[in-house]
Structure 1
Amino acid sequence: MNGIDGERPSDGLDAVEADGGLWSPGVDYLSGWREARAAADRLNRALLAAGFELSELRATATTTGEGHGVVRLAGWPTVVERLARCLELAARNPDGGAA
């Protein structure tokens, strides 16, 4: 069955809203997500190795509306403050204390 002017009627699936954005047909979201997932996994392993709990601080993968990968870091404010202190110390001592 055709819609107006012979076009197919919209089934509402041409674009899907997800994660605060719009997913459009023809955009390769999977490649961007896979890249972001690999980076998020690496960051989560580093957070675990540094003594953080993933229930308190975690990196997650998502994509933009254009299909670019994005890694989001979310955590409890007190835990994020702890991470910030660790990064500040690392920035002041980039060689890890080696003499």
Structure 2
Amino acid sequence: MSGSDENWLGGDLDDITDVEAVLWVRGVDYMAGWRDARESTDQLNRAMLGVGLERSEVRAVASTDEEGRGVVRLAGMPDAVGRLAQLLEALARSDGGAL
């Protein structure tokens, strides 16, 4: 990904936190889990951009759980998340839900 392509990764929804996210356990490799989640996060964010959802409205955010496993969280404005749900429902209806 080029430097200019990374601009869409930023945004107002990046600062979303979870209470558990601030509790770190010594010896847990949180970075490995975060890197795993980041790959899926980038893929989902590109897909949402591809269907016209703006990053300022809805985005996937890479995180980890308390055991260091990668977690992808969806954060967004209710209207944008509703549009995403409609797209997924239409896809499920059109092909029986199989990917």
- Please give the range of the TM-score, normalised by the shorter of the 2 chains: 0.7 to 0.9
**Secondary structure at 1:58's aligned position in 2?**
strand
Q: Which amino acid aligns with 1:72?
A: R
Q: Which amino acid aligns with 2:19?
A: G
Pairs aligned (count): 78
Q: Which residue of structure 1 aligns with residue 12 of structure 2?
A: none
Identity %: 56
Greater RCO structure (CA 8 Å; 6+ sep): 2
Structure 1 gap ranges (5+): 1-17
- Supply the RMSD in Å over aligned alpha carbons: 1.5
Q: 1 CA distance for matches of 2:66 and 2:86?
A: 33
Q: Any residues of structure 2 matched to 1:50-69 within 5 Å, and which?
A: 50-69=51-70
Q: Which residue of structure 1 aligns with residue 41 of structure 2?
A: 40
**Secondary structure at 1:73's aligned position in 2?**
strand
1:49 maps to 2:50: yes
TM-score, structure 2 normalization: 0.74
Structure 2 gap ranges (5+): 1-16
Q: Any residues of structure 2 matched to 1:7-86 within 5 Å, and which?
A: 19-21=18-20, 22-86=23-87
Shift >3 Å, 4+ stretches: none
Q: Which amino acid aligns with 1:78?
A: D
Displacement of 1:20 in angstroms is 1.4
Q: 2 CA distance for matches of 1:86 and 1:19?
A: 27
Q: Which amino acid aligns with 2:69?
A: H
User: Which structure dedicates a bigger proportion of its chain to helix?
Assistant: 2
Displacement of 1:68 in angstroms is 0.6
* Greater radius of gyration (CA): 1
